Amino acid sequence: MPMFGFDEQYPLFDSTPVDNQFILEYLPTATGDAVRVYLYGLMQCYHPEAAMSLEQMARELGMDADAVLAAFRHWERKGLVRRVKDNPPTYSYVSVKQAMFMGSAAPVDQEYENFATAVYGIFGNDRRLHGKEISQIYEWVEDLHLPAEVVLALITHMVKQNGKGVSIKTIEKRALQLLDEGVTTAEDAQAVLSRDQQVHDGAKAVIRRMGKRRNPSEDETDLYRKWTVDWRFTREDVLAACVELTKGDPNFKYLDGILSRLYAKRSETGRVQKVAETLAGEQDAVAPLRALLSVLNLPTAAINPGTLKVYEEMRALYPDNIILMAGQECSRHGVTKLDDVMYTLQNWKRNGLQDAAAVRLYMQRINEMNDFLRVLYEVTGMVNARPNAADRRIAAKWLEEWGFDMAFVTQCAAWAIGKERPLGYLDRMLEAYHGKGVRTIEAAQQERESFQQAQAAKSERPAAAPRGPKTVEQQQYTQREYIHSDDAIDAMMKAWQEENGNA
């Protein structure tokens, strides 16, 4: 054991020197992870831990071991670190001053330098890549195990398609796709990238078909690749589907919906048919839905798998002519959703309507009842009320079940003015008149006046003293004074209900 040493807590309160040359020359082109690894390793050089390992270092930094190794490879290429042992990995730090000024840096990674030179050559003077971008690209060779010539071919292809401003992230996404497709040689890459060019040209043709002049975006190219590579539609098929882009701003997302529907149909039937032929055959099938959308003032672009499915559900209830009648009725009342049409059809079915004649008769009755309710709303002061099913049912009871005529009900409605629930009040009044056989407004008025007179005479007679058990002092309570607040018609209805045992 050495005669002298630091206390084990010493590193916590010490500092680690970092050369300014490192900060000025190396740090700007390094990734954040690479800087973290370098600094942590530098601290370990000054204060080594016996138990330190690659895995321990990764845990301390919140990284995975592969990321730590990639960072050290970066510093090896820069000549600031030498790998002196592989298992376990052991590194020796080189003085930054020594590396820069004394010429004793580690040998340059010539393979990396050649690769970097080739990448710089692809972009030329129009775009100078940062060192960290070159390092990121080279990781595709080291970590993804893509041959350098495949990566260079990919970069050349992406620059040709997207220009020299293409992002490294976009190129990396395609590199991962090449890996998934099993590309291992330059020849494989050339075949796949040639297909990519066809995809790019096809997507560009779709954009031209839409009347636009620009290059396709990455997302648009991905969609076109799905249509032609995964779903095996031809370029002719895709362009034929563009005929459906007739409303609004045509876009790839809407076209994807069209082709998705056609692909599902093809998979279901097992029949491969040209898109142009399929769409021509569908025109007759969608004509009734198109007519319904027109009645509802909805764009015909709303024809899609979802709306076609809804229309088929409507057809399970009624034929096309009655569906169109439901659409016209909804439009007349200002509701223009397919859900409203479906609700109307379901209501007709619940009411047992079987054909167009029955529907017309039913709607005529509904409209007449609505007109009658609007008159009652106006008479009773219900200015914001709108006819509804509940009010129609109660009105039908008065007119059809009890046999009152509209004029009689309308005149009686005047006595409900100012009530909290005018129609409920009118309903109780008419129930009383129905029980008494009152059918004319004169009889109703006479009944009302007679009851008022009887009530007045009754109030003039002194009340008889109540008879009851003997009371004691403890049972004497202050008596409440009840004030009769019902008007004549309220009292009359209450009396009738008591006479009939309904109190």
Residues 111-122: tens digit of each pLDDT: 888 888 888 889
CA 39, 45, 49, 53 dihedral sign is positive
Top pLDDT among 44 and 481 is at: 44
In whole numbers, what is the pLDDT of the chain averaged over residues?
Answer: 82
Mean pLDDT for the stretch of residues 433-448: 90
* pLDDT at residue 326, rounded to an integer: 92
What is the model's pTM? 0.38
Distance CA 155, CA 492 (A): 95
* pLDDT at residue 503, rounded to an integer: 40
- How many structural domains is the chain composed of? 3
Mean pLDDT for the stretch of residues 200-207: 91
Q: Yes or no: say if 447 and 416 are a contact pair by the CB < 8 Å rule.
A: no
Mean pLDDT for the stretch of residues 58-79: 86
User: How many Cβ atoms are within 10 Å of 71's Cβ, its own excluded?
Assistant: 25
**DSSP per-residue string spanning 207-236:** HHHTT--SPPPHHHHHHHHIIIIIS---HH
Instruction: Flag whether 87 is in a domain.
Output: yes
In residues, how long is the chain?
503
Please identify, among 80, 107, 134, the residue that sits at the C-terminal boundary of a domain.
107
Nearest to 68 by CA among 44, 95, 40, 47: 40
80 with 36, same domain? yes
Distance CA 286, CA 371 (A): 37
Instruction: Flag whether 239 is in a domain.
Output: no
Q: Yes or no: say if 224 and 264 are a contact pair by the CB < 8 Å rule.
A: no
Q: Yes or no: say if 122 and 155 are a contact pair by the CB < 8 Å rule.
A: yes
* pLDDT at residue 468, rounded to an integer: 41
For 499, the token pair is 């006479």
81 with 50, same domain? yes
Instruction: Flag whether 86 is in a domain.
Output: yes
Please give the helix or strand (H or E) that residue 1 lies within, else none. none
Q: In Å, what is the CA distance from 409 to each residue of 63, 403, 416, 426?
A: 84, 10, 11, 8
For 330, the token pair is 């909804």
Express each pLDDT in 303-348 by its tens digit.
787 888 899 899 999 998 999 999 998 998 888 889 999 999 999 9
% residues pLDDT > 70 (the chain): 83
Instruction: Flag whether 424 is in a domain.
Output: yes
393 with 435, same domain? yes
* pLDDT at residue 480, rounded to an integer: 34
381 with 348, same domain? no
Q: Where are the alpha helices (DSSP H) in 381-483?
A: 389-396, 406-413, 422-436, 441-460
Instruction: State the pLDDT confidence band at 8, using cuts at 50, 70 and 90.
Output: low
% residues pLDDT > 90 (the chain): 30
418 with 493, same domain? yes
Residue 21 pLDDT greater than 90, yes or no: no
Distance CA 92, CA 71 (A): 14
Top pLDDT among 204 and 100 is at: 204
Express each pLDDT in 25-61 by its tens digit.
888 878 888 899 999 999 988 888 878 899 999 999 9
329 with 396, same domain? no
Angle of helix 422-436 relative to helix 356-380, nearest 10 degrees?
100
Mean pLDDT for the stretch of residues 251-257: 90
Rounded to 5 degrees, φ, ψ at 81 are: -140, 140
Residue 397 pLDDT greater than 50, yes or no: yes
Residue 159 pLDDT greater than 80, yes or no: yes
Top pLDDT among 131 and 65 is at: 65
The residue type found at 367 is N
Please identify, among 55, 77, 107, the residue that sits at the C-terminal boundary of a domain.
107
* pLDDT at residue 478, rounded to an integer: 36
Instruction: Flag whether 292 is in a domain.
Output: yes
* pLDDT at residue 7, rounded to an integer: 62
Distance CA 151, CA 157 (A): 10
Q: Yes or no: say if 338 and 310 are a contact pair by the CB < 8 Å rule.
A: yes
Give buried/exposed letters for 274-288 (b at 16+ CB in 10 A, else e).
ebeebbeebeeebeb
Instruction: Flag whether 131 is in a domain.
Output: no
- DSSP state for residue 26 in the 8-state scheme: I
Three-state helix/strand/coil letters over 141-209: HHCCCCCHHHHHHHHHHHHHHHCCCCCHHHHHHHHHHHHHCCCCCHHHHHHHHHHHHHHHHHHHHHHHH
* pLDDT at residue 394, rounded to an integer: 93
Express each pLDDT in 175-199 by its tens digit.
998 888 888 888 888 888 888 888 9
Instruction: Flag whether 151 is in a domain.
Output: no
20 with 87, same domain? yes
Please identify, among 354, 385, 405, the residue that sits at the C-terminal boundary of a domain.
354
Distance CA 275, CA 273 (A): 6
Distance CA 243, CA 210 (A): 10
Q: In Å, what is the CA distance from 378 to each residue of 35, 131, 367, 390, 430?
A: 81, 82, 17, 18, 19
* pLDDT at residue 499, rounded to an integer: 54
Check which CATH number belongs to the domain holding 50 and give it: 1.10.10.10
442 with 488, same domain? yes
Top pLDDT among 458 and 483 is at: 458
Mean pLDDT for the stretch of residues 425-429: 91
418 with 501, same domain? yes
Top pLDDT among 64 and 51 is at: 64
Express each pLDDT in 255-299 by its tens digit.
998 888 888 888 776 666 788 777 776 666 678 888 898 889 887
Instruction: Flag whether 189 is in a domain.
Output: no
21 with 77, same domain? yes
479: left (phi over 0), alpha (psi -120 to 50) or beta: beta
Instruction: State the pLDDT confidence band at 248, using cuts at 50, 70 and 90.
Output: low
* pLDDT at residue 459, rounded to an integer: 67
Residue 105 pLDDT greater than 80, yes or no: no
Residue 250: asked if its preceding bond is cis (omega within 30°), the reply is no
Instruction: State the pLDDT confidence band at 202, using cuts at 50, 70 and 90.
Output: very high
For 442, the token pair is 């004169």
For 158, the token pair is 């992406």
Distance CA 81, CA 477 (A): 104
502 with 376, same domain? yes
Q: Yes or no: say if 380 and 423 are a contact pair by the CB < 8 Å rule.
A: yes
337 with 384, same domain? no
Residue 476 pLDDT greater than 70, yes or no: no
Name the residue range of residue 47's domain: 1-107
Mean pLDDT for the stretch of residues 118-138: 83
